[in-house]
Amino acid sequence: MQDLRTATPALTVLSEEESMFREAVREFAESEVRPHVQAMDEAGALNADLIPKFFELGLMGIEVPEQYGGAGGSIFMAVLAIEELARVDASAAIYVDVHNTLVNNAFLRWAGPEQHARYFPRLTTDLLGAFALSEPGSGSDAFALATRAERKGSGWELTGRKFWITNGAEAGVFIVFANTDPSKGYKGITAFIVERDFPGFTVGKKENKLGIRASSTTELILEQCAVPEENVMGPVGQGYKIAIETLNEGRIGIGAQMIGVGGGALEAATNYVKERKQFGKAIAEFQGVQFQLAQMATDLEAARLMVYNAARLKDAGLPFAQQAAMAKLFSSQVADRTTSSCLELFGGYGYSKEYPAEKYYRDAKIGTIYEGTSNMQLQTIAKGMLK
């Protein structure tokens, strides 16, 4: 049967290179990630061997130019990788997602040539990155952040706390947002490149989460953290712009995660209903079950097209912020519904950790929350419509 992901309009048809890349990631996810999924979920930690393998496979520098050790690829290729990993394990996918769509993306657009030369060779080989914007008092209102940056001699001192930082436990470099001049409001926000061993920097507690449990989510503590002048990313006072524009691409990555999670759940449920027998026949033979599967497949295909379209627009250099918000909103809604329905198709077994349905259900929920809640996506979409 033809793969539905290649039977789409011209905008989303995969090239031979993209198809080969997707298949390589799928094989990796099946052979290297799937055997560890249940143990990682229970332990609340990623298998230590996986991050080095992400780098070895070239998954951590997809858009980075070849001169710095990257693949010189596109956000669309990053989407394919994230989707295929999330189909097996959303926690594995988020490591690749954040590193590419937030960290590398911010470096590509806003870091200077010297910063590129200093960090990209490691960001593509062994240095995991994290994006530190959120704080205890600033979630959806991201620019109400309280972390401060003060000039000290030839550099800066950062003081504050960051919450909900993905990749925090393992990352070696962090893009940290702090306000250099609170009197200017959000126009004082500046981005800083903070290395894990900088004086005054500490990784705090790790969150014990409902889903994506193997992905580390931590607190960061900055106590007069010393940051040299050459580690300011972009112009001073332009941090708000860096954050907004970086998160626009990040939302495409979240969309890819969600279609991966929904697709993995649907695949598991489809296999199960062909095996499970009731009233003398497989439950897949009941029309009610068939209709549920058909509706879920249709919803997922629509979400996939939206995510792919947003990625293609970004790669083409066209406006994509509204489409990214729509893709993130809709794909997270679809993943939430799909994983719930799939769990129900497993019956009582769906509620058991011996089967995959309940984990897909837990992993899907975060999609409506992080990198902008669903309400914030609706606000972005509405603003674009009314502009």
Express each pLDDT in 246-298 by its tens digit: 999 999 999 999 999 999 999 999 999 999 999 999 999 999 999 999 999 99
Burial 53-83 (b: 16+ CB within 10 A, else e): ebbeebbbbbbbeeebbbbebbbbbbbbbbb
Instruction: Give the C-alpha separation, 168 to 7, whole Å.
Output: 39
The mean pLDDT value of the chain amounts to 95
Both tokens of 245, joined, read 């524009």
**Residue 142, pLDDT score:** 72
Residues 367 and 280 in one domain: yes
Residues 234 and 276 in one domain: no
Residues 141 and 62 in one domain: no
Residues 259 and 360 in one domain: yes
Instruction: Give the C-alpha separation, 15 to 21, whole Å.
Output: 10
Residues 276 and 379 in one domain: yes
Contacts of residue 317, defined as CB under 8 A and 6 or more positions apart, other chains included, come to none
Residues 72 and 179 in one domain: no
Of 20, 35, 19, the C-alpha closest to 89 is: 35
5 pLDDT above the threshold of 60: no
Is the distance from CB of 245 to CB of 195 less than 8 angstroms?
Answer: no
**Residue 39, pLDDT score:** 98
In percent, the amount of the chain with pLDDT more than 90 equals: 94
CATH code for the domain in which residue 266 is found: 1.20.140.10
User: What is the residue range of 335's domain?
Assistant: 241-386
Residues 300 and 369 in one domain: yes
Residues 377 and 248 in one domain: yes
The strand pairing partners of 173, in sequence order, are 129, 195
Q: How many residues does the chain have?
A: 387
Express each pLDDT in 106-147 by its tens digit: 999 999 999 999 999 999 999 999 999 999 988 778 778 999
Is the distance from CB of 231 to CB of 205 less than 8 angstroms?
Answer: no
Kindly give the pairing relationship between strand 129-132 and strand 173-179: parallel
CATH code for the domain in which residue 45 is found: 1.10.540.10
CATH code for the domain in which residue 139 is found: 2.40.110.10
Q: For residue 382, count other CB atoms closer than 10 A to its CB.
A: 12
Burial of 275 (0-12, 13-18, 19+ CB in 10 A): exposed
The strand pairing partners of 162, in sequence order, are 220
Domain boundary among 208, 239, 270: 239
Domain boundary among 123, 150, 171: 123
Higher pLDDT, 139 or 355: 355
10 pLDDT above the threshold of 50: no
Is the distance from CB of 79 to CB of 97 less than 8 angstroms?
Answer: no
Both tokens of 53, joined, read 């393998």
Residues 175 and 153 in one domain: yes
Residues 119 and 135 in one domain: no
Residues 103 and 14 in one domain: yes
Domain boundary among 107, 123, 139: 123
- Structurally, the chain folds into a number of domains equal to 3
φ, ψ for residue 57 (rounded to 5)? Answer: -80, -10
Instruction: Give the C-alpha separation, 222 to 22, whole Å.
Output: 39
Query: How far is residue 248 from each of residues 192, 193, 345, measured CA to CA in Å?
Result: 19, 20, 35
Of 202, 102, 188, 195, the C-alpha closest to 159 is: 202
Residues 230 and 322 in one domain: no
Both tokens of 240, joined, read 């708000």
Express each pLDDT in 52-80 by its tens digit: 999 999 999 999 999 999 999 999 999 99
Q: 3: pLDDT confidence band, cut at 50, 70 and 90?
A: very low
Active-site annotation, residues: 371
The strand pairing partners of 152, in sequence order, are 155
Both tokens of 138, joined, read 């600033």
**Residue 12, pLDDT score:** 61
